[in-house]
Each structure stands twice: as structure tokens, then as C-alpha cells.
């Protein structure tokens, strides 16, 4: 028996590409095992996979597939669709292994496709001489292929673009990094004397919780080492200690030149075995070369994305960030950075309080389209009005 999955385009122009949707409601409605799922459009199999983001939480399982055509324009409230795809049980696609848990714990992870390669540190340091502050930091973000060939290379290290293009003429900067959630702020209740608790995540190692690869995308889910949070209890009139863990899921689609990320925080008390979601505010930190007078595009009336770039000369590097929970204005240079000689390379920004956040990270080099245009478009299509599917 076949089942129909409605696909919806909320834009006033035709769009195609990848779609991600929660798997659990589909599994309940169809009874199809994730390992035997086939997604078809007009009888033609589509690239599809089911990712197990957190093996202990089936609610986070995600179906991702790629459409083979553009959807006609629709309505912005997702109330109209003219297309559907079929779901059926059958042999899984060749080259589509099931999502797997990571058994061996590495010190870093990599995500790569034909356009990007990034390397993230799971530990605060990889060598005794390193400063113990790199946990959760992407220490290399390389652009590959056609984008790199704009400056005559096969790949460019975007965290140190000028050094990369000069082929080692200058010293490598060991402090470079991006996409690091260096601090976490957990809001306290209104009756507490403390506004929030600060957690220094850059000192806490991560574990690789799951590693998923298929014909649509790669995802890597990380979880921090547990840390304690003292929550003021108005009834007991004392602090109740929770054990908390911070989760990050990195997602790279095979045809994308940007990385997506999801953040959430869970905690539990000694009286409860099950974890529950907590509110938090994440602070990002980046140390990347954008020259001494970068341009920062951030608008308080649309605080969902911003762009940083140096639009002059031959290199013209740019970085864009977008989120679904709002971002405060980026700080340059970052006030917490201790090395004053490199402070001009530092940026930091804080997300508004939330229980879950979705983010996009985008780099470009020597691109004819301004970085603020590209990240604004990515925010619209990936965060604000993504393609959706429902059973």
C-alpha cells in the first residue's frame, strides 16, 4: 500500500531542493520501517534518508529527501499545495546506509561535500601547548571547487583567507575558529536574585552522539560533558541542582555551500531519570580574518540574520549567520578575547533566549553577490519559509 506526503512551497516563486520533516508522525501513520522507506515522485525514486539525530529520543528522527522538480508557487501560510510524493516500503536505495551511532569517540569531526570541508574540535585542546578553549569550535572552514577557483585555488581556508591565498607566506594563526558556542546563559526564574547562570562551554569536551550519512545529507550530533546548574526553588527555598547537557546537530546537504545547525539544552534532577528541555541563550564566538575594518550588516527590525565582510580588493571574504530565534547585534572586537594583538579578528554575538534554535552559517569569497544578500536569501528559504512536507 502506498501513502501520500504533501509537499508545500510557501513562496510566490517556483522552488525545489531538499525537504526535512519529522519522521515519527510519518512512521506512525504508515508503519513503514525507516530502513525500508522509499520516496517517489511520479513513480521515480527520490534521494531520501531518515536520520536518527539522538538515539535516545525518537521524536528527533528526521526524514530528508530531495525533489526532482521545482514546486509551483503557493501561499505563505502553507495552506495550499499542488504536489505530493509517494511513500512505500521496499528495498532501500543503494548507497543509503542507515543512520548509525558513533561508538568510537574521536577528538574532532569533519563534514564535507564538493563545496565545503569543515573540521570541528570536540575537545578543548589537541596538544599540551594548546590553549584549552577550543571545545566545539570549527578550526578549519574550507571552500572548495568553483568558489575557490575565483581566486585561482582549489581550496581556500576562510578563517585565514589571505594566508591561504598567499600559500603560506604568512604564519598560520593557531587561534582561528568559528561556529563556537563558547558560553551558555541559562535564565533563572523571576524570583531569583541571579538573572542567569553562565556556563563556559569552551572548556567542556563534547562526545559524538550520532553520525548519519545518506544520499541527501550528512549530520553529526554532539553532546557536551554534563555540567551542574543550580535552579532556585521557591517552595523548597533553596537551590535544586540539575545535571545538564548541551546538544548541537550539524547538518550539511550534499549540494549546499552553507552549514545548518540545531541547538538545544536538556537537564534532569536527582529525583527524575528522564531529561527535559531547558531554556537557554547561546553566545557564539569567531576568530577569523576580515581585515581591520570589516563591514557588519545587522538590522534591529529583522534581527534574524547578519553579515560580516570586507568588500574591497581581490579576496573579499564574507560570513553570514541566520537564526529562527533572533540574534543580538554582533560585537567587534569581542570583549572577552584576551589576546589584544589579534582582537580585531574576533566577533561574538548572543541568541535570544529559546528552547531550541536553528541556524545557518555561510562563507563566501570574491563573490559577485554581496554576502548580506546571500545570507538574507538563505534565511528566507531555510529558516523563515522552508519547503515543508506533511502526511
* 101 assigned to some structural domain: no
Same domain, 118 and 82: no
Confidence of residue 74 (pLDDT cuts 50, 70, 90): very high
Instruction: Name the more confident of 91 and 43.
Output: 43
pLDDT (tens digit per residue) in 206-234:
999 999 999 999 999 999 999 998 877 76
DSSP state of 35: G
Range of the domain at 37: 3-96
Tally the domains of the chain.
Answer: 2
Same domain, 200 and 83: no
Laid out side by side, the sheet with 62-66 consists of: 18-22, 62-66, 48-51
Confidence of residue 1 (pLDDT cuts 50, 70, 90): low
* 102 assigned to some structural domain: no
Task: Count how many residues are written for the chain.
Answer: 391
Gyration radius (Cα) of the chain, Å: 22
Domain harbouring 124, CATH code: 2.70.98
pLDDT (tens digit per residue) in 8-32:
999 999 999 999 999 999 999 999 9
Measured CA distances, 59 to 51, 55, 95, 268 (Å): 11, 10, 25, 18
Region of residue 300 (left: phi > 0; alpha: psi -120 to 50; beta: else): alpha
Same domain, 46 and 155: no
What is the three-class DSSP state of 163? helix
pLDDT (tens digit per residue) in 94-151:
444 444 545 568 899 999 999 999 999 999 987 766 668 999 999 999 999 999 999 8
Minimal CA–CA distance to 250: which of 108, 67, 380, 97? 108
* 390 assigned to some structural domain: no
Same domain, 29 and 153: no
Of 83-87, 165-169, 179-183, minimum mean pLDDT range: 165-169
Same domain, 212 and 276: yes
* 193 assigned to some structural domain: yes
Same domain, 13 and 154: no
CB-count exposure of residue 119 (10 Å: 0-12, 13-18, 19+): middle
DSSP state of 310: -
Same domain, 211 and 178: yes
Q: Which residues contact 224 (CB under 8 A, 6 or more apart)?
A: 135, 136, 201, 204, 205, 206, 245, 246, 247
User: For the CA atoms of 305, 308, 311, 315, what is the dihedral angle to 10 degrees?
Assistant: -120
Same domain, 154 and 23: no
Of 11-15, 37-41, 237-241, minimum mean pLDDT range: 237-241
Amino acid at each position: 500500500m502506498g501513502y501520500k506526503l504533501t509537499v508545500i512551497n510557501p513562496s510566490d516563486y517556483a522552488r525545489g531542493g531538499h525537504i526535512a520533516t519529522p519522521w515519527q508522525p510519518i512512521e506512525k501513520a504508515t508503519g513503514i520501517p525507516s530502513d525500508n522507506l522509499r520516496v517517489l515522485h511520479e513513480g521515480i525514486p527520490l534521494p531520501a534518508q531518515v536520520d536518527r539525530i539522538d538515539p535516545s529520543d525518537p521524536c528527533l528522527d528526521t526524514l530528508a529527501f530531495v525533489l526532482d522538480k521545482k514546486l509551483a508557487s503557493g501561499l505563505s501560510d502553507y495552506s495550499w499545495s499542488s504536489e505530493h510524493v509517494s511513500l512505500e516500503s521496499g528495498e532501500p536505495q543503494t548507497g543509503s546506509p542507515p543512520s548509525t551511532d558513533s561508538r568510537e569517540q574521536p577528538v574532532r569531526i569533519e563534514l564535507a561535500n564538493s563545496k565545503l570541508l569543515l573540521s570541528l574540535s570536540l575537545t578543548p585542546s589537541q596538544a599540551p601547548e594548546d590553549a584549552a578553549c577550543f571545545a566545539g569550535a570549527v578550526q578549519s572552514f574550507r571552500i572548495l571547487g568553483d568558489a575557490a577557483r575565483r581566486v585561482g585555488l582549489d581550496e581556500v581556508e576562510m578563517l585565514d583567507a589571505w594566508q591561504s591565498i598567499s600559500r603560506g607566506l604568512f604564519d598560520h594563526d593557531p587561534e582561528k575558529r568559528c561556529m563556537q558556542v563558547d558560553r551558555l546563559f541559562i535564565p533563572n526564574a523571576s524570583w531569583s536574585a541571579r538573572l542567569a547562570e553562565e556556563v563556559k562551554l569552551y572548556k567542556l569536551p563534547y562526545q559524538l552522539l550520532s553520525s548519519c550519512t545518506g544520499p541527501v545529507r550528512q549530520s553529526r550530533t554532539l553532546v557536551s560533558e554534563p555540567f551542574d546548574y543550580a535552579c532556585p526553588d521557591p517552595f523548597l527555598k533553596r537551590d535544586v541542582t540539575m545535571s545538564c547537557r548541551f546538544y548541537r546537530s550539524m547538518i550539511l546537504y550534499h549540494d549546499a555551500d552553507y552549514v545548518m545547525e540545531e541547538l538545544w539544552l536538556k537537564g534532569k534532577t536527582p529525583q527524575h531519570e528522564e531529561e527535559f528541555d531547558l531554556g537557554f541563550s547561546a553566545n557564539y564566538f569567531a576568530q577569523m580574518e576580515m581585515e581591520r575594518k570589516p563591514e557588519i550588516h545587522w538590522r534591529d527590525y529583522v534581527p534574524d540574520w547578519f553579515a560580516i565582510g570586507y568588500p574591497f580588493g581581490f579576496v573579499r571574504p564574507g560570513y553570514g549567520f541566520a537564526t529562527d530565534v533572533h540574534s543580538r547585534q554582533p560585537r567587534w572586537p569581542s570583549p572577552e578575547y584576551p589576546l589584544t594583538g589579534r582582537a580585531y579578528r574576533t566577533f561574538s554575538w548572543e541568541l535570544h533566549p529559546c528552547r531550541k534554535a536553528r541556524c545557518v552559517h555561510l562563507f563566501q569569497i570574491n563573490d559577485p553577490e554581496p554576502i548580506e544578500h546571500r545570507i538574507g536569501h538563505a534565511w528566507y528559504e531555510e529558516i523563515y519559509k522552508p519547503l515543508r512536507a506533511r502526511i
